[in-house]
Structure 1
Amino acid sequence: MAKFQYTGRDRKGKTQGNLVASSKREAVVKLSQSGIKVTSIEEVQQSVLSKNITIGNPVKLHQFVIFLRQFSTLLKAGVTMVDTTRILAEQTENKHLRSALLDIEQDLREGNPFSAASSKHTRIFAPMFINMIRAGEAGGNMDESLDRLAGHYEKQHATQQKIRSALAYPVVVGIMAIAVLIFLLVAIVPTFVDMYADFGGDLPAITVFVLKASHFMQSAWYVLVIILIALIAFISFFSKNSRTKYYFDLFILRLPVFGKMMQKAVLARMTRTLSSLFSSSVPILQAMNIVEEVVGNEVIGNVVKESRDALEKGQSITLPMKAHWAFPPLVTQMIAIGEQTGALDTMLNKVADFYEREVEVVTDQLKSLIEPLMIVILAALVGTIVISIMVPMFDIFNQVNKQ
């Protein structure tokens, strides 16, 4: 939210003050609703620390789906586009979406189409949304385009949630294992150091290793912190840099078990997006460009680009796909049948349904397999430290008994 300083007139005469709003336009609307006619308004510059910082899309996927459903319902009920936009801006709880909708409302009142107005807010409205809205405006079926978009994003959200749920358990257990390990090395193991020093005998190799690890954690823990920060920075750069992201995505797809799950999820997203765009009568070359941008994987995106190039040359869209290992025969065969029968959107939709079900099955299997595996790993870590502590103690007890 930004802070604005304004001057204006109300029923009592000249007035001035400060107001907090998402944008200048929203501030003017709020003041107008309060009976103040604004003569001047300026944003008050704030420090960096006081500003809201957002990373990625500021509107969550489930919030966007609700927005699309409400948008479609209002249009079907006969509400005008301008009034629909105003109503949605007033009722949405997301300040970024509210600010964008207020700007779009003003553009609509100036005679601009919704697609052109929304294209000014690319952080919120993706190219797919803008192009499907543009196609809906041209065909006079905006409500249908919005329904397709809502269905598309709902299924995309469901797939994302399944993948996150499959990955959440190992991440949580892994963090717990590291926390327990650090606690044992820092708080428990050091209490036995003096005892072993008084013992004076040769310690088992496993005990020596654990004692050295404990000493390192106490005296040089910051080295691990630096390594962790450097690793996170390296992965972040590696995954976002256009030159290296391809190899990062390739590595992800090649991972055992998890790679197959990610491959199916990306293929489901690719085919679902293409199907939604074709159903909305978006030109095929333009649709391929959009898919290349939103598919979220450089390996698959490069093949989509090659398929688009093949299409421009009059060749089959499946030609590059058949030559690439990431595209199973099911995908290429179904797309080829769709090309031949003129039902490409239907075939793509069936492929997307199939792979979304596959992702669901794989995630369920992963959760059932990972749970016992993580328990075994946690038990092995704790057990190693316990054994390293207990073995020398047995030797001490034996010596005491002999004496």
Structure 2
Amino acid sequence: MPVFQYKARNSAGALISGAVDAATLDAAAGELLEQGMTPIDIKAGRSGRGRIATPQESARPRPAVRKGAGTKPPESGLQQLNDALMRKKIDITELIIFSRQMQSLTKAGLPLDRALTGLRGSMKNPRLKQLIGEVLADLESGQSLSTALGHHPKVFSPLFLSLVDVGENTGRLDLAFEQISRYLELEKSTRKQVKSATRYPIFVISTMAVALGIITYFVIPAFSQTFARLGAELPLETRILIGISDFVVNWWQFLLGGTVAAVVGFKTWVRSRRGKLIWDHQKLKIPLAGPVFNRIALARFSRTFAMILKAGVPIVHGMGVVAGAVGNKFIAGRILRMRDGISRGESLYNTAVTADMFSPLILQMIAVGEESGTIDQLLEEVADFYDAEVEYDLKRLGEVIEPILIMFIAGMVLVLALGVFLPIWDLSSAVNN
């Protein structure tokens, strides 16, 4: 008969581990329940005769293992380096897969420990596999799933944790993970659209920066030496280019160091609380791109708020979660002011008007939804409206940026042509005459 290793808690709450003979996993769980123990984890063990361990046997110290006998050998330096390289960041795609699988497993009625154990074995990312193992350990210690996931704030957002908490309290974790997966898929689609719209401009600007560096450091000094040997009077454009080239050649170390220091300083400033607030506010004022950032944040607000209301989260608490999900500190501050107004007894419509970040059409939909009690449905329609606007704006952004880049490249080529080739043409004319 198969043997199943188990972990369970007795009536006193003590953790017990041992083995039990049973035909199936369900039969093993039933036998444990008959003995007055609550199963936590049951898995197939080694073949052989097994029985349920008593609490005294479970608490009995195990014999010491001799050094080198049955222990895992120390990893080599190459293996440690390989493990370090494999610890890649947990991206949004893996979170989507995790949410979908959790939805399917919880909908099938599988216990959380068995669901997470199965998921851990199927994950390819070592970091995510380790994280699930830590969540399992927290569950075995008696913590809830939302609390266990909350120990990893860099991976799971406040919205993710709030929906899981609501799913646990209502007994519908499957619906919670379904909402989470839908939200993450929309978030992934938005990020993909932004990257698609900015990929071409970034590539062109980077290429032109490299070309300018090569021309300034290598090409112009060669022409400068030629012009100096001829002793001819050079046009103003050529003298400016030669002056810039000489400055770059002589002081490139300081220019490179200053650029690196400026980038590091800017990133450090943006990570600070005040810097992040100022930068997020200024991003909304950038020509062409500012309105896109604004609509992306408002689309996240509308969709997240609709999910929070559908899940049954209290509106005051939900507004705090929504503020952390919009991805913009400036807009988050206005949402928190809306929350303060609602906590004082003001209506959602009045606080939205005071926030001064919604169009009249959106404000009208909020008012209708608040009066009819269908605010969650109308907010989803608002989110769909903003998503469509973002998609249109991103397509239009690429169409607008392309001619601007072409004009920039044409201007740069004109300056280089006037500065480098104009003296050559003058010298050629002088020789012919």
Question: Which TM class, normalised by the smaller chain length?
Answer: 0.7 to 0.9
**Which residue of structure 1 lines up, in the alignment, with residue 202 of structure 2?**
171
Shift of 1:157: 1.1
How many pairs align?
368
**Which residue of structure 2 lines up, in the alignment, with residue 66 of structure 1?**
97
Correspondences of 1:1-400 after superposition (within 5 Å) = 9=65, 14-18=69-73, 58-400=89-431
In the alignment, the residues of structure 2 paired with residue 114 and residue 320 of structure 1 have an alpha-carbon distance, to the nearest angstrom, of 34
In the alignment, the residues of structure 2 paired with residue 232 and residue 361 of structure 1 have an alpha-carbon distance, to the nearest angstrom, of 32
1:283-332 per-residue CA deviation (whole Å, 9 max, x = no partner) reads 11111111122222122111111110001110012334323443222332
CA change 1:53–1:91 in 2 (3 A) is closer
Range with greater deviation from structure 2 (151-160 or 230-239): 230-239
**Which residue of structure 2 lines up, in the alignment, with residue 28 of structure 1?**
none
CA change 1:96–1:335 in 2 (3 A) is farther
CA change 1:84–1:233 in 2 (3 A) is same
User: Does the aligned pair in 2 maintain the 1:207–1:388 contact within 8 Å?
Assistant: yes
CA change 1:19–1:116 in 2 (3 A) is farther
Shift of 1:51: 6.2
1:17-74 per-residue CA deviation (whole Å, 9 max, x = no partner) reads 4466xxxxxxxxxxxxxxxxxxxxxxx9xx99x967989xx42111101110111112
User: Does the aligned pair in 2 maintain the 1:303–1:320 contact within 8 Å?
Assistant: no
CA change 1:362–1:13 in 2 (3 A) is closer
Counterpart residue identity of residue 382, structure 2: V
User: Does the aligned pair in 2 maintain the 1:72–1:146 contact within 8 Å?
Assistant: yes
SS in 1 for 2:69: strand
User: Does the aligned pair in 1 maintain the 2:120–2:132 contact within 8 Å?
Assistant: yes
User: Does the aligned pair in 2 maintain the 1:199–1:396 contact within 8 Å?
Assistant: no
Which runs of no fewer than 5 residues in structure 1 stay unpaired? 1-6, 21-43
Shift of 1:272: 1.2
In the alignment, the residues of structure 2 paired with residue 248 and residue 8 of structure 1 have an alpha-carbon distance, to the nearest angstrom, of 59
Counterpart residue identity of residue 351, structure 1: V
> What TM-score comes out, normalization by structure 1 length?
0.85
Shift of 1:8: 6.8
> What TM-score comes out, normalization by structure 2 length?
0.79
In the alignment, the residues of structure 2 paired with residue 362 and residue 320 of structure 1 have an alpha-carbon distance, to the nearest angstrom, of 28
Shift of 1:395: 1.4
Larger radius of gyration: 2
User: Does the aligned pair in 1 maintain the 2:201–2:405 contact within 8 Å?
Assistant: yes
In the alignment, the residues of structure 2 paired with residue 95 and residue 248 of structure 1 have an alpha-carbon distance, to the nearest angstrom, of 35
User: Does the aligned pair in 1 maintain the 2:224–2:242 contact within 8 Å?
Assistant: yes
Q: Which has the higher contact order (CA 8 A, sep 6+)?
A: 1
Which runs of no fewer than 5 residues in structure 2 stay unpaired? 1-62
Calculate percent identity across the aligned residue pairs.
28
User: Does the aligned pair in 2 maintain the 1:239–1:248 contact within 8 Å?
Assistant: yes
CA change 1:325–1:204 in 2 (3 A) is farther
**Which residue of structure 2 lines up, in the alignment, with residue 37 of structure 1?**
none
Shift of 1:9: 4.4
**Which residue of structure 2 lines up, in the alignment, with residue 39 of structure 1?**
none
In the alignment, the residues of structure 1 paired with residue 68 and residue 331 of structure 2 have an alpha-carbon distance, to the nearest angstrom, of 63
CA RMSD of aligned residues (A): 2.7
